Structure 1
Amino acid sequence: MRFVRFVTILTALTMGIASPAWAITNGSADLSDHPEVGALIADRPHPDGTWSYCTGTLISPTVFLTAAHCGKKAQKTARVSFSSHYQPGTQVYTGRFVPDARYKDSSELHDMAVVVFSTAVPNIKPATLPREGMLDELEADNSLQTTQFTPVGYGSLNPVKGARKKQYRYTDTRNQTSISFENLSPRWLDLSLNSAKGDGSTCFGDSGGPNFLGGRDSHLLVATTVSGDDNACKSTNFDYRLDTPSARRFLGKFVTLP
Structure 2
Amino acid sequence: MRRLVLLVTVLGVLGFAAPAAAITYGTADGTGHPNVGGLVAAQAYSDGTWIYCSGTLIAPKVFLTAAHCAEGDRVRVTFDPAYQDGDKVYAGTWHADPLYNGAQSDPHDIAVVVLDTAPRITPAKLPAAGSLSNLPSTQQFTSVGYGAHEVTNSPGGHQYLYDDVRMVATGTLNSINPAWLRISMNPSTGNGGTCYGDSGGPNFLGSSDVVAATTITGDAICRSTNVDYRLDTASARDFLAGYVTLP
Matched-pair contact (CA < 8 Å) for 1:63–1:116: yes
Of 184, 188, 205, 2:197 maps to 205
- Between the aligned partners of 1:8 and 1:196, the Cα distance in structure 2 is 25
What is the percentage of aligned positions where both structures have the same residue?
49
- Deviation, 1:240, is 0.3
C-alpha deviations, 1:48-93, integer Å up to 9, x for none?
Answer: 1000000000000000000000003xx2111000000000110000
Q: Does 1:227 align with 2:221?
A: no
Q: Does 1:248 align with 2:226?
A: no
1:156 counterpart SS class? coil
Q: Does 1:36 align with 2:35?
A: yes
What code does the residue aligned with 1:78 have? V
- Between the aligned partners of 2:48 and 2:25, the Cα distance in structure 1 is 23
Q: Does 1:47 align with 2:51?
A: no
Q: Does 1:165 align with 2:157?
A: yes
Alignment TM-score, normalising by the size of structure 2: 0.90
Aligned partner of 1:3 in structure 2 is none
2:164 counterpart SS class? strand
C-alpha deviations, 1:9-48, integer Å up to 9, x for none?
Answer: 59777359xxx98411100000001000000000000011
With over 3 angstroms needed to count, the CA separation of the structure-2 counterparts of 1:67 and 1:126, relative to structure 1, is same
- Where in structure 2 are the equivalents of 1:71-86 lying within 5 Å? 71-72=70-71, 75-86=72-83
Please list every run of 5 or more consecutive structure 2 residues that lacks an aligned counterpart in the other structure: 12-18
1:248 counterpart SS class? helix
Aligned partner of 1:102 in structure 2 is 99
With over 3 angstroms needed to count, the CA separation of the structure-2 counterparts of 1:9 and 1:202, relative to structure 1, is closer
With over 3 angstroms needed to count, the CA separation of the structure-2 counterparts of 1:194 and 1:7, relative to structure 1, is closer
With over 3 angstroms needed to count, the CA separation of the structure-2 counterparts of 1:67 and 1:179, relative to structure 1, is same
Matched-pair contact (CA < 8 Å) for 1:226–1:240: yes
Matched-pair contact (CA < 8 Å) for 1:76–1:97: yes
Aligned partner of 1:189 in structure 2 is 181
Matched-pair contact (CA < 8 Å) for 2:216–2:227: yes
- Between the aligned partners of 2:5 and 2:29, the Cα distance in structure 1 is 29
Question: How many pairs are equivalent?
Answer: 239
Matched-pair contact (CA < 8 Å) for 2:182–2:228: yes
Matched-pair contact (CA < 8 Å) for 2:6–2:157: no
- Deviation, 1:161, is 4.5
- Deviation, 1:197, is 4.7
Aligned partner of 1:239 in structure 2 is 228
What code does the residue aligned with 1:38 have? G
Matched-pair contact (CA < 8 Å) for 1:15–1:166: no
